[in-house]
Amino acid sequence: MLSGRCPVVITIHGGFWQSKYGLDENEALTKDLSRSGYATWNIEYRRIGEDGGGWPGTFHDVIDAVNHLSKLEERFQLDLSRVIVLGHSAGGQLALWLASRSSKNQNDEMGNHLHIPIKRVISLAGVLDLQKMWEIHDEKGISSPLESFIGGTPREVSNRYSIASPIDLLPLNVEQILIHGELDRHVPVELSIEYHRRATEQGDKVHLIVLPEVEHFKIIDPFSTAWKSVTDSLETLLSN
């Protein structure tokens, strides 16, 4: 068990930013982390199909949710110097985008500022290259949720993809651990592999864990063997 002020794990769910998927996806894992002594903050955001969801409302929401922790700091004895953002799938994209707000100029069209610096991120099967994800959907003849989320195709709104896509925001200058299942059919592991390559080339402190025989959802199941890689990663980041 951890003692003193609690380190905080902010969890961001996936679901390709669509309204039919919500924060209940992370309920089991946040309960497991709470039992281990972490303070957990399972955040929600407006999604595709909801008023204000997508660009730029979703981005404003995740910033506001993180900033709200400053109002809870004393009441819940939170250690806001030890915050880790844990994002799954689309939540991985949002987690790394949040981290970029700590290290880069925030005076852009996204508006509101992040007041709590993010120094540590764990991406679980994250959508780390938005243009590549759109291309994968396009090649498969799938109507990509990215068009609704960002407000167009990469050709139509290229600047938005650059602002929102983690791979285009490198280097982030934060500690990152990427965990991805080799059998992931929703978000190919190649997205994390290529992101890791580029991040390493640009000097970011990033570690990649590829899990064999693991698909997209096992990675967030606290009863799976894959989950230990997540809890070990949390411990590693907090020990640095």
Instruction: Enter the pTM of the model.
Output: 0.96
Q: What is the pLDDT of residues 207-234, one digit of tens each?
A: 999 999 999 999 999 999 999 999 999 9
Q: What is the pLDDT of residues 74-87, one digit of tens each?
A: 999 999 999 999 99
The residue type found at 240 is N
Confidence of residue 110 (pLDDT cuts 50, 70, 90): confident
Helix boundaries (H) for the chain: 27-35, 57-67, 69-72, 90-103, 130-139, 145-146, 158-164, 190-201, 227-239
Distances in whole angstroms, Cα of residue 4 to Cα of each of 11, 38, 78, 224: 21, 11, 9, 29
Instruction: Report residue 201 CA to chain centroid gap.
Output: 21
Average pLDDT in the 34-51 region?
96
Confidence of residue 2 (pLDDT cuts 50, 70, 90): very low
Q: What is the pLDDT of residues 150-201, one digit of tens each?
A: 999 999 999 999 999 999 999 999 999 999 999 999 999 999 999 999 999 9
CB atoms within 10 A of CB 230: 24
Partners of 41 in the β-ladder:
10
Give the whole-number percent of the chain exceeding pLDDT 90.
Answer: 91
pLDDT at residue 105 tops 60 = no
Q: What is d(CA 83, CA 85) in angstroms, rounded to the nearest whole number?
A: 7
Do 194 and 187 touch, CB atoms closer than 8 A? no
Which of 41, 111, 107 lies closest to 70, judged by CA?
Answer: 41
Q: What is the pLDDT of residue 1?
A: 41
Tell me which DSSP letter residue 147 carries.
Answer: I
Which of 178, 177, 176, 179 lies closest to 221, judged by CA?
Answer: 179
Q: What is d(CA 40, CA 120) in angstroms, rounded to the nearest whole number?
A: 15
Q: What is the pLDDT of residues 54-63, one digit of tens each?
A: 999 999 999 9
